[in-house]
Structure 1
Amino acid sequence: MMKNIARLTFIPIFTLFMTFTEVDAQVLNGKQRSIVNIAALTAKGDLPALKLSLNTGLDAGLSINEIKEILIQLAAYCGFPRSLNAINTFSAVTAERKAKGISDFLGTEPTPPGNTSNKYEIGKNNLEKLTGRAENEIKTGYAAFVPVIDTFLKEHLFADIFSRGVLTNQERELTTISALASLGGVESQLQGHLSISMRLGFTEAELRQMLLIIENSIGKKEADAGREVLSKVVALRKQTN
């Protein structure tokens, strides 16, 4: 635990002074760095370090509802057990802070569900906006082999969750790629979401900073695997531009 604490408290200071060779390099802001850590530690199930990261996130300006949305979304990427454990940890954090007289900002409320009669189309349209391309009507891969999982993906993740608001699409993708990079072994999905993240405006430098945060809070193995995938995504984008 002490090792995790040392790494976690060191990250924000270190990343603030990172330098990049790119002329147009940018760095993630405090809220974004907190999103990375919260998502990564939730995915790994490191609850003591997550507790510290949740406090840091609130101090950095994340609202209570923004953090709730991060943890809700992560149920789709690292499973309900990890998400529920993180939500219980966050509940304890907010209670402790309230007892200390800290008044945290609740933030924007989620958008109430609209027309739920055709959630598949809503999810399909949301996914097309993220990727910038139309969904192929002829199903292949997992969607052809187990069609219902494609339905769950569209209706639950990209309709139920992505339609809730509170977080921007950029923040939702940062949550996703941080969790996927920390989990490891899901390079195909990570590649797809890194491509979406760059399409939404994240620079290579910002994504490399995300991976450096993961290296410090999760491990070098996971970060290096993520760097390999990111390099592939960058190369492919250069070929198509």
Structure 2
Amino acid sequence: MIRKLFKSILFLLAVSVTMSANAQTKAAQDLDPKQQAIIRIAALTGKGSLEQLKEELKAGLEAGLTVNQIKEVIVHVYAYAGFPRSIRGLQTFMTVLDERKSRGVNDVMGNEASPIKNDCSKYDRGKAILDTLLDTPQRGPQTGYSAFAPVIEIFLKEHLFADIFERDVLTYKERELVTVSVLAAIGGVEPMLQSHLKICMNVGLTADQLQQYVGIIKTSIGKKEANSAQSVLNGVLKSK
């Protein structure tokens, strides 16, 4: 009888340990609270939903994002949704910080962007970053819109991928989460969303994490936008 009881206890302990290990593994594979906050903040800034953004900015700070990280998220948004959305997002963040300060909450500022110590031209630096994100070097003559309007290809390399992506306040993974969140929120840019979802996987985001991202878009922006993002993601995953 005692032997049977002992075996039962050992079995229950083994099951408990296995369940705990599985739960920890799943948690490690999920988007962390900071990444989830980045998605919501970027999407709502791009959409212009300022009242909802206000609450998510508070949640982002509580999740551990620094003031400078959140500012960087909102600044990054302008590359995809324009200055008006980005500036309104920054103004909303200023209000949130002022309200918190008046209640005695002193939020962590965090690191500023490191100085750039690279003698290469901005174009070459931007191209190198894009090559890293795409996981393949870009060679050969320009095609498509780059050939049709070469100046925009220069702007993309020098400004988006050098001036913005080169700033180390956010990681490439975090910047790609910002990018796909804005693109999903504004809609109508599915080819760009497809490209950046592929980049998300290149920089280490998993299929499960990107499914979670779609779920966050659904709850924070809407079903229509989430369905569109899901359709694009399905195509990306199918091509892998």
2:192 maps to 1:182: no
1:31-87 Cα deviation digits (max 9, x unpaired): 011001001101100000001110000000000010011111111011111001001
Q: CA deviation at 1:103?
A: 1.2
Aligned residue number for residue 224 of structure 1: 227
By relative contact order (CA 8 Å, sep 6+), the higher-ranking structure is 1
Aligned residue number for residue 79 of structure 1: 82
Q: Distance in 1 between matches of 2:120 and 2:234?
A: 41
- The answer to whether the 8 Å contact 1:128/1:135 transfers is yes
The 3 A distance-change label for structure 1 pair 89 and 153 is same
1:16-40 Cα deviation digits (max 9, x unpaired): xxxxxxx899221110110010011
Aligned residue number for residue 47 of structure 1: 50
Q: Distance in 1 between matches of 2:67 and 2:27?
A: 33
Alignment of 1:137-148 (within 5 A): 137-148=140-151
TM-score (norm 2): 0.86
Q: CA deviation at 1:159?
A: 0.3
1:186-224 Cα deviation digits (max 9, x unpaired): 110000000010111111111111111111111111101
- The answer to whether the 8 Å contact 1:130/1:196 transfers is yes
Give the counterpart letter for 1:89 in structure 2: T
Q: Which has the higher helix share?
A: 2
Give the match's secondary structure for 1:202. coil
Aligned length: 218
Give the counterpart letter for 1:105 in structure 2: V
Q: CA deviation at 1:118?
A: 1.2
The 3 A distance-change label for structure 1 pair 95 and 24 is closer
2:159 maps to 1:162: no
Alignment of 1:45-194 (within 5 A): 45-115=48-118, 118-194=121-197
Q: Which of 188, 191, 198 is equivalent to 1:195? A: 198
Q: CA deviation at 1:112?
A: 2.3
Instruction: Give the number of the structure whose alpha-carbon radius of gyration is greater.
Output: 2
Runs of 4 or more off by more than 3 Å in structure 1?
113-117
Aligned residue number for residue 215 of structure 2: 212
- The answer to whether the 8 Å contact 1:211/1:223 transfers is yes
Kindly report the root-mean-square deviation, in angstroms, between the aligned alpha carbons of the 2 structures: 2.0
Q: Distance in 1 between matches of 2:46 and 2:72?
A: 15
Give the match's secondary structure for 2:29. coil
Q: Which of 41, 62, 81 is equivalent to 1:38? A: 41
TM-score (norm 1): 0.86
Q: Distance in 1 between matches of 2:39 and 2:225?
A: 14
Q: Distance in 2 between matches of 1:126 and 1:172?
A: 12
Q: Distance in 2 between matches of 1:214 and 1:25?
A: 21
Q: What runs of 5+ residues in structure 2 fail to find an aligned partner?
A: 1-25
